[in-house]
Amino acid sequence: MLHWMVPVGRSWQSVVAGYLALFSIVVWILGPVALGLGVWALARARREGAHGTGRAVFAVVVGLLSTFAMGLLVLSALA
């Protein structure tokens, strides 16, 4: 039951990607970093077992959304 609250037995990539994705909701510049680290964590989780897959998928989805929002902000500033 401890693994639901504390990231035990997860790769460091999936843990960091999950936290970066959370921060990228507010700080959009972290979106591409969360996306890249999430893809790396997802590849590692699939190669070595399913541990950390949920955090990696969360990082990819939120990283994509944050990157898209940042792109819209940049485009609106240029227009």
Please state the rounded mean pLDDT for residues 40-62.
89
In the predicted structure, residue 29 carries a pLDDT above the cut 70: yes
In the predicted structure, residue 32 carries a pLDDT above the cut 80: yes
Output the pLDDT for position 59.
95
Cα separation, 38 vs 48, in Å, equals: 15
Please state the rounded mean pLDDT for residues 46-68.
90
In the predicted structure, residue 4 carries a pLDDT above the cut 70: no
What is the pTM assigned to this prediction? 0.86
| 75 phi/psi in degrees, rounded to 5 | -65, -40
Output the pLDDT for position 64.
96
Q: What is the DSSP letter of 51?
A: T
Is 30 within 8 Å of 62 (Cβ atoms)? no
